[in-house]
Amino acid sequence: MPSLNEIRSTFLSYFERNGHEVVDSSPLVPRNDPSLMFANSGMVQFKNLFTGVETRDYKRATTSQKCVRAGGKHNDLDNVGYTARHHTFFEMLGNFSFGDYFKEQAIPFAWELLTRDFDIPADKLLVTVYHTDDEAAEIWKKVAGLPDERIIRIPTSDNFWQMGDTGPCGPCTEIFYDHGDHIWGGPPGSPEEDGDRFIEIWNLVFMQYEQFEDGTRRDLAAQSIDTGMGLERIGALLQGKHDNYDTDLMRALIEASANATSTEPDGQGNVHHRVIADHLRSTSFLIADGVMPGNEGRGYVLRRIMRRAMRHAHLLGANDPLMHRLVPALVTQMGAAYPELGRAQALIEETLKLEETRFIQTLDRGLRLLDDELGKLPEGAPLPGEAAFKLYDTYGFPLDLTQDALREKGRSVDVAGFDAAMAEQKAKARAAWSGSGEAKEARIWFEIAEKIAPTEFLGYDTEVAEGQVMALVVDGAAVDAIPEGGEGWMIVNQTPFYGESGGQVGDTGTYLKPEGAGMILDTQKMSGGLFAHKVQPEKAALSVGDALELRVDHNRRAAIRANHSATHLLHEALRQTLGDHVAQKGSLNAPDRLRFDFSHAKALSADELATVETEVNAFIRQNSPVETRIMTPDDARAIGAQALFGEKYGDEVRVVSMGRAPTGKGHDGKTWSIELCGGTHVKQTGDIGLCVVLGDSASSAGVRRVEALTGQAALDHLIAQQNRLHQVAEVLRTAPADVVARVKALVEDKRALENEVATLRRDLALAGPGGAAPEAREVGGVPFFAQVLTGVSGKDLPPLIDEHKARLGSGAVLLIADAGGKAAVAAGVTEDLTDRISAVNLVKAAVAELGGKGGGGRPDMAQGGGKDATNADAAIKAAEAALEG
C-alpha cells in the first residue's frame, strides 16, 4: 500500500519523465494575485502564464501545490472533521501545459498514470465531458476504450471552467472512481449524484477559448491545460480507504493527538482528533509561509482556524496548550516534501503555544456564557445574533466557532442578527476580507516585459552608469516622451539604481544627457525583472531611445547600505540573545533609520536590548569584510543561510555573509551572519560606524519591532542625548555623572514628603474642624459618624474608614471627600453589625444625592462617587435614612 508521500512522488516523477518541469509549490500567500486570500488550486502560481502576460523557460510543468480553503468563496471550515473529504489544508497534484500539448495528450497522460502507474482497474473509472465537447469524448473512446455509457455529457457549469467574466475559459473532463454498488449513490448528472459511490478524483481543464464582455468566445492562439487531483482523495483510493482521514498521513496526526490527550483515536473524540489533525496542517503551513495570527485578513483566518482546533482540544480534556506539541509529528510526516516546515518549526511551535495560552484564558468563560444564553431560550431555538456577537467581541469567538459549538447541541445561530451587530461595531472590517491591500501590478508592465529584456542591475559594483531609455510610462500607459516639468516612469536597459524590495527602499538620484537633466525620485521593481525609475525631467523632454548617464545619490545609498548591513547583524544578535524561534517578519532599510520586525512573544527587557546593541557594535568594530556569493538555495541552506519564511526563491540566490563569531558566541569562530539577500551592503562592517538601538514595540500578535539608527544618525542621536543630560544636570545643579544619584535622592525626598502629607491629612481628617475630636450620633440604634473632607482623595478614604471604625468599636461610618467639586464616597460598618447593615447600601443612598449611580464593595467596606459634592449634607441624610429604614 503506497504512502501519501510515495503517491506524490509517483505523480511528479511520471510527468517529469514526460517532459514536465517539476516546479515547487508556491507559498500559500499568492504573490501574483492580491485579491486572492490563499492559494486554493495548482494553477494560481501559473495564472500569468495562462493569461499570456508572463513567459518562462518551460512550457510543461507539474506540481504538488499547498492549498488552503478557509475563507471567502472557497470555505470548507464548517464541515472539516465531520465529513470524509473536507479539509482546510490539502495538496493539489497537477500537470500543466502552456501552449504546448492539448486534449490529445492530456487525456492519455491521465489514463496511463491512473491505470498503469497507480494500477487502478479500468472498469472502476468513468468520465464526464462538457456536453458539446465531442473531441474529448472521442479521445476517451480511442485512448481508454470507454463505452458511451461511461462517458457522461454534462451541460452545466460543472464541466465548464472560467477564470472570470472575461478571459481564458474552456470545457472540463472529470474522472470518477466507482466504489461499487454496496455504497449508495448514482453517477454524475443523476438524481443520486450526491452519494458516495462515485467520487471525482481528477479534473482536466482545457483552456480553449477567450471570452469577451459581450459573451462571445474565440479560440485561444495558445491553448493550454490545467489539471488538478487532490492528493488526499487519490491517496484514500489507492490505500483502500473511503475516508481521507484514514490515510497514513492523516492517521499519524490523529494518533499523535490521541496520544497527547490520553484519549482513544476512534472513540467519542474522533471528530475532535480529525479537526485537530487537519487544522494542525493549515496553521503550521500558513505560519511557515509568513502568515501570523491577527485581527484582519489572512491573519484573522489563521486565528479562526487555530481557535477552532483549540476548542476541540479543550473538548478532549486538554487544559494546557496542545497544538504546539503535535508539530514534530507533522514535520516527520511532511518535512521531507516541504523543507520550509522544518525550517520554521521553532516559529510554528512558539506561535501556536502563545496563541493557545492566550485563548485558553477566555475559552471557559465564553463557553459558560454560551451555556447561560442557551439556558434562557426555548428548546431548539437559535442563539440570538447579539449573543453570538458578544462571544466574538468579548471572548474572541469567531462566528464559525460558535456555530461549531452549537452544531453539537443541535442548535443554530441567528446569522443575520450577528451581521447586524457586527455592522454597528467599528471594527467590522476585522472579520471581512477585501484583498490584502497591495495594489495589483498594472498590466502595462507585463506588456513592456514581453517586448524588452529585463533591466540589468549594475548597482552592486557602481553608482554611476550609462543606460538607454527603453520605455516610458505615464498614468499607466506607454508614451514616447515625458515633457520638461512632467513626471512618469522610465525603464532603461541597465541601471545602477536599486529597485525597492526586500525591505530596502529604492534609490534616488539624477540622470544627465547632452540636452538636459532630470531627477530620479524613486526606483521600483516591476514584473519581468524591470526596474522602473520615477523621473522628473528638468531640462528638456525625456524620450524613448535617449542615452543617459545615471547617477545614484551616493550619500543616501551609503546610509541605506549601512542600515541594511546593520539589520543583518541585528537579526543574528536577536537570534543569539532570544532563541532560534526569532525569524524576520518584515524590515525597513531607509537612509535615516532601520526597522526590523521579528517573531517573539514578549517585550525585550532593558538587559536584552543592551546585549543586542553591544553584540551589533562589537561586530561593527571588528571591521570584517562583507562577502557575497551566488549559489543554489539548497547550498545556501546547507551553510546555514537565513531565509524569509514564505518567500519563493529561484534557481540561484545571493548570499550575504558578515562577521566572525568568537568562540562561545553560538557559531564558535564561524561566520556570524549568513542571509539570502539581494540588497546593497557595506564592504566592511566598520563602514556602518555605530548602531544605536532605540527600543522595541509590539508590531502585531507574536511579532516585535526593533528600531535603530546607524552612522551619522546614530552619532547625532547620542550627541542630542548628551546635550539633554547636560541640561538636566544644570537644572539639578550637579555634575552629569551624578545625575542618576541626584534624581534618586529627589524621588526619595518626594516620596517621604508625600507620606508626611498623607499622614497630616489623615490626622487632620480624624481630628475634624478646629482640631476637635469627632463624635458619633445615634441613628437607628447604631453609632453613626459622618464627615465631609477637603484636601483628601478617594484613595485616602478606606484607611480613614478603618481608623474611625476602630475608634467606634461598633457602628457605621460615612466619609465624603470633596475633590474639586466632585465627590468620593466611602462607608464602613463594623463586623458585629454587617448581618443587618451593609456599607454598600449606605454608599448607594449617598451617591444618589451626589449625581452618581450605584456603588460597590463588601458589607463592611464600600465606595462610590458622584458629580456634585455640594449636596454632601443631603447625601449624609440619605445614608441616615438608610440606617433608620
List the binding residues for Zn(2+).
Answer: 564, 568, 677, 681
349-364: buried (b, 16+ CB within 10 Å) or exposed (e) per residue? bbbbbbbbebbbebbe
Q: How long, in residues, is the chain?
A: 885
User: Cα–Cα distance between 812 and 802 in angstroms, integer?
Assistant: 11
689 sits in which H/E element: none
Residues near 755 by beta carbon (within 8 Å), at least 6 away in sequence: none
Angle, CA 228 vertex, CA 224 and CA 233 arms, to 5°? 165
Quick one: DSSP state of residue 440? P
In Å, the largest CA–CA distance within the chain is 115
Distance (Å) of CA 60 to CA 18, 57, 446, 470: 9, 9, 21, 31
Looking at residue 503, its amino acid is G
User: Cα–Cα distance between 721 and 728 in angstroms, integer?
Assistant: 10
Angle, CA 27 vertex, CA 24 and CA 31 arms, to 5°? 110
User: Cα–Cα distance between 414 and 403 in angstroms, integer?
Assistant: 10
- Binding region: 564, 568, 677, 681
User: Cα–Cα distance between 740 and 729 in angstroms, integer?
Assistant: 10
User: Cα–Cα distance between 573 and 369 in angstroms, integer?
Assistant: 46
End-to-end CA distance of the chain: 85
Report CA torsion sign: 137, 140, 141, 143.
positive
User: Cα–Cα distance between 212 and 411 in angstroms, integer?
Assistant: 46
* HSE-up (13 A, CA, CB side) for residue 360: 16
**DSSP per residue, 267-278:** STTHHHHHHHHH
Distance (Å) of CA 100 to CA 95, 109, 651: 12, 14, 23
User: Cα–Cα distance between 409 and 403 in angstroms, integer?
Assistant: 10
Report CA torsion sign: 29, 31, 36, 40.
negative
